[in-house]
Amino acid sequence: MERIEGTFLVRFSLEVDIPAERLEDDDFDERAWRGEWEKGVKPAVVRAVFDALRASPGWAAHVRNRGASTEDEIEIVVRRSY
């Protein structure tokens, strides 16, 4: 059996715009947006990717960790078997 590999990359660059007056507010947490991403948006995006892959017959997927922090990278291995 021969395995052929390729790569497809989707990169999300996270940015936040914070008005200067908000930064001056002592109660404002300038890191809260990252928590919103990590706990809400990112899991929903990953779930949607796996939902789409599960809906495609013959394709399987799993997460592969190559030592990078999951805050910085999630690698999803997608495999087609015949």
Query: Residue 16's closest CA among 28, 7, 4, 8?
Result: 28
| pLDDT bracket for residue 30 (50, 70, 90) | confident
The pLDDT of 13-31, averaged and rounded, is 86
Q: Is residue 53 part of a domain?
A: yes
What number is the average pLDDT over the span 25-41? 89
Inside any domain, residue 76: yes
Could you list the residue range(s) of the whole structural domain that residue 35 is in?
Answer: 31-80
Lowest mean pLDDT among 28-32, 33-37, 56-60: 28-32
How does 52-79 read in b/e, with b if 16+ C-beta sit within 10 Å?
Answer: eeeeeeeeeeeeeeeeeeeeeeeeeeee
Q: Distance between CA 34 and CA 42 in Å, rounded?
A: 10
In a domain, 5, yes or no: no
Number of domains into which the chain is organized: 1
What's the pLDDT at 31? 84
Does residue 65 register a pLDDT over 90?
Answer: no
Residue 24 located in a structural domain: no
Q: Does a structural domain hold residue 11?
A: no
pTM: 0.80
Residue 36 resides in a domain: yes
